[in-house]
């Protein structure tokens, strides 16, 4: 018996600067859709949005660790997506 796998779907095409030349200004012009956009070292990276299971794990993490930490004055949380600009060519969207 032979098993055939379908090829993965094609990645969306985004018009913009060549790899290595993306800036925060370019990143800020991208659409807010179901794709997670980040630039690292001036290169655009695209991934799908996190799964429901992933989001549930994040919620449990915040509930078990984040809330007690906040109550004790140890800090606060941002639950994504939230853009974090590290430099002119590095902008990421960490989970939390």
Per-residue pLDDT tens over the stretch 60-91: 988 888 888 888 988 777 776 778 899 999 99
Q: What are the residue boundaries of the structural domains of the chain, listed by start?
A: 24-92
Give the pLDDT of residue 40: 95
Band of residue 43 on the pLDDT scale cut at 50, 70, 90: very high
Give the pLDDT of residue 35: 85
Whether the CB-CB separation of 43 and 19 falls below 8 Å is answered with yes
At residue 37, what are phi and psi to the nearest 5 degrees?
A: -105, 135
More reliable by pLDDT, 10 or 62: 62
Give the pLDDT of residue 39: 95
pTM above 0.85, yes or no: no
In the chain, the N- to C-terminal Cα span, in Å, equals 46
More reliable by pLDDT, 20 or 48: 20
- DSSP lists the bridge partners of residue 40 as 43
């Amino acid at each position: 018996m032979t098993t055939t796998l379908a090829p993965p779907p094609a990645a969306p095409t985004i018009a913009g600067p060549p790899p290595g030349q993306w800036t925060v200004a370019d990143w800020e012009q991208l659409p807010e859709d179901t794709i997670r956009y980040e630039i690292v070292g001036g290169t655009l990276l695209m991934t799908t949005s996190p799964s429901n299971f992933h989001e549930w794990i994040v919620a449990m993490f915040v509930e078990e660790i984040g809330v007690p930490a906040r109550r004790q004055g140890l800090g606060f949380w941002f639950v994504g997506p939230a853009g974090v600009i590290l430099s002119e060519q590095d902008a990421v969207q960490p989970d939390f």
